[in-house]
Amino acid sequence: MNHKQSLIYVLLAISFFFGDRSLAVAEESVPRSELSIGDALALAKLHIPQLVRAQSEQRVVESRREGAKLWLTQNPYASVLVGKRKETTSDPIATGVQYQIHVEQALEIAGQRWARLSAVASQVEVAKAQTALAQVESRALLLTSYVQASLAEQRVMVALGREETAEQLLLSARARLELGATGELEVNLAQIEKGRVRAERAQTEVMLIGRQTQLGILCGLAPTNKLLLTTSHTVPPLIDTTYERTDSLYSLAEQVRSDLLVIRRQHVALDREESRLHRDAIPSLLVAFDYQRDLPEQTFWGGTVGLSLPIWNRNQGSIAQVRASEQQRQAEERLLRTRIRGEVTLAHRKLQLLRKQVEEFQKEVLPPAERNIELLRRGWQAGKFDLFRVITASRELMEARLRHLDLLEELWVAAIELERAVGAPLLQGVSS
């Protein structure tokens, strides 16, 4: 055996040894930022628009408490009269300058302040519930984006492994051509396959860039650094076993679902607002002080007590509007409760079906595909099969691995959707 033949056999041995093993992604010069799922959730709370907007609106509502705490909501009214007075007499003493000061203040005497404070407090609770709803939606959005980016990384790894396999097949075909064990056709087929899988790898990298960019936007990160995701999602998600049954999920959703809580707190807010409107229609006490000086030797001072008379306007229109809003709220609550049960049922069934599909795929599809490629490689080396069958099996293995990742992504998204439908964290190992 000459030196050239020895080198060829060494190349063949290397190709068969490494075969379909995936390569790690090469480190690039672009700096990478580590981002765990917990870090992503913490950053998202500060940068997801709908959550930031809900938090800002809550602060606006809370600021109304300062105005509601005032003991007197109406400012006092004051007037001053200055004028010259002259009697229709020839007596000069009866002529002089007249001064008059009038101060008036309305007082709340029928619990208006308490009603005002209660109404504002209920509005704050509604705003808090809306913020909690935005937090649930933001968590679902962030988790979905992180899972998709994480599995996109795995797709790139699969594509890199497939590209490495194509490269090794090309090297083997060229070595066999040198030995006269095959023809130029097989070398051309291997060359074409290498170009095809390289293009597929590029497509997966484009997908990864897009998903990482989307995740970075949600986290408020600049697109200058690549994200290094430290949390993998290559295994099926685990749900708290306490909530494996739909009835327990219904019960939990009835307790914690934020949009349902919003409607319930709106009921309290409307009830208190109606009470405030009724109390505002109760007469208010008017207290006034007067001081008057007509002549240098004539002064007068005294007080006045009166009542406002809400005869024409007793907040009839506002009260009717509040009652109509309450009827609308009751209808929305009934519809929402029905929709919640439907969402929970659908998400739970979808999760169960996808979990079963993933388990069956892992047991019945991936292992045979991996064994087939090894058998065909050996058969091709022994001259039993042509290269086209090896390439076809390699494609089928890559498609199977990518399909497995697709099923995992669908399964994770279904689990996240179940969390959102219930309105509470259910995923084990995922920081809230």
Angle, CA 428 vertex, CA 427 and CA 432 arms, to 5° = 70
Nearest CA to 281 among 323, 319, 315? 315
Nearest CA to 412 among 422, 426, 424? 426
* pLDDT for 384: 67
* pLDDT for 95: 64
Torsion angle, CA of 58/60/66/69, rounded to 10 degrees?
-60
Query: Is residue 23 a part of any domain in this protein?
Result: no
Query: Is residue 15 a part of any domain in this protein?
Result: no
Domain CATH number, residue 57: 1.20.1600.10
Query: Is residue 29 a part of any domain in this protein?
Result: no
Per-residue pLDDT of the chain (432 residues; tens, 9 = 90+): 444 444 333 333 334 333 444 333 334 444 566 888 888 888 888 888 888 888 888 888 877 777 767 666 677 778 887 777 666 666 555 566 777 888 887 767 666 766 777 777 777 888 888 888 888 889 999 999 999 999 999 999 988 888 888 887 777 778 767 777 667 787 788 788 888 888 888 998 899 989 988 998 888 887 766 788 888 888 888 877 666 678 888 888 888 887 777 777 777 676 767 666 666 666 676 777 777 777 666 777 777 777 676 767 667 777 777 777 777 777 777 887 888 888 888 989 999 999 999 999 989 888 888 887 777 777 766 666 667 777 778 888 888 889 999 999 999 999 999 988 888 888 877 765
Query: Is residue 222 a part of any domain in this protein?
Result: yes
* pLDDT for 261: 79
Q: Nearest 5°: phi and psi at 361?
A: -65, -40
Query: Is residue 394 a part of any domain in this protein?
Result: yes
Number of domains observed in the structure of the chain:
1
202: left (phi over 0), alpha (psi -120 to 50) or beta: alpha
Helix/strand/coil percent split, the chain, to 5: 65, 10, 20
* pLDDT for 407: 93
Range of the domain at 118: 39-422
d(CA 244, CA 62): 39
Nearest CA to 322 among 138, 115, 149? 115
* pLDDT for 21: 40
d(CA 114, CA 416): 43
* pLDDT for 414: 92
Residue 277 identity (one-letter amino acid)? L
